[in-house]
Amino acid sequence: MAGRPSARWGLRDAGGNGVVMVAAQRPRVDHGDPWFRRYPVDGARVRLVCFPHAGGTATGYFGWPQLLPDGVELLAVQYPGRQNRIAEPCFESLPELAAAVAVALKAHTGLPLVMFGHSMGSAVAYEVARALRQDGQEVPRLMVSGRGAPHVGYGGRRRPGLDDASLIAVVRALSGTDADAYEHPDMRELLMPSLRADYTMLDRYRPAAPEERLDVPVTVFGGEDDPACPVAELASWEEVTGAGSEVLTYPGGHFYLREHERALVAEVARRLPLAGGPAA
């Protein structure tokens, strides 16, 4: 595919009798802007901006660039307080975080910006889309996953406590073996501040149903057995948009998108505005 590295390469033996080694190539990545892991492509026609879940990082979207079609440049958002931004203070206000991301995206305008967010990232993506539309930026579509609309939040379910044990229990219930990192004291010391800050944001983020609906179509994805977001809750996104919504579900729980990554990215790609030639 032009503009995107081949996903695999091979070496032939001395007699040219076939591949003797095959390995995955790493996609090109630009770390110049601390807010984003940017995967540049030649002739980009749209930018897909991806927002991590609570406690998550930009590397959660590392596998996506190789699955996307030509013309799509991926920007994986890196929240402060983790990985290369570990020394920066975490945000504890979701609207303030979204406003900061929207400002950072001004350096990446000039192409349509499509938002995708999972879990907490869905709420951040929604707030960023609102801010961008108010600023006149083209946002062809909002795609969200694993969470009801912002005004639905936890759907009346009890919010977790913010102590270590309660937060780790939530992580373990939602993502299984991913919680193992929190069992190691050194890793727990690094990971807990951002996880606690993210849940603090969620605890404080309780917006009312919007008086003015977003003029952007919304695609909603979810796991059929997600304990954090029942399938029935996904339909609540139709209440925040005047441009129509749809719901697609996959077998699995809250992190269904890991085992169905290829299928999910294919559905995301089908909804990207890729008609026509590259932008000037």
Q: Which residues are the active-site residues?
A: 119, 254
Secondary structure (DSSP) of the chain: -TTS--SEEEEE-TT--SEEEEEEPPPP-B-SSTTEEEE--TT--EEEEEE--TT--GGGGTTSGGGSPTTEEEEEE--TTSGGGTTSPPP--HHHHHHHHHHHHGGG-SS-EEEEEETHHHHHHHHHHHHHHHTT-----EEEESS--TTTTTTTPPPPPSSHHHHHHHHHHHHGGGGGGGGSHHHHHHHHHHHHHHHHHHHH--PPPPSS-BSS-EEEEEETT-SSS-HHHHGGGGGSBSS-EEEEEESSSTTHHHHTHHHHHHHHHHTS---SS---
Tokens representing 60 are 């959660």
Residue 73 · residue 111 · CB < 8 Å: yes
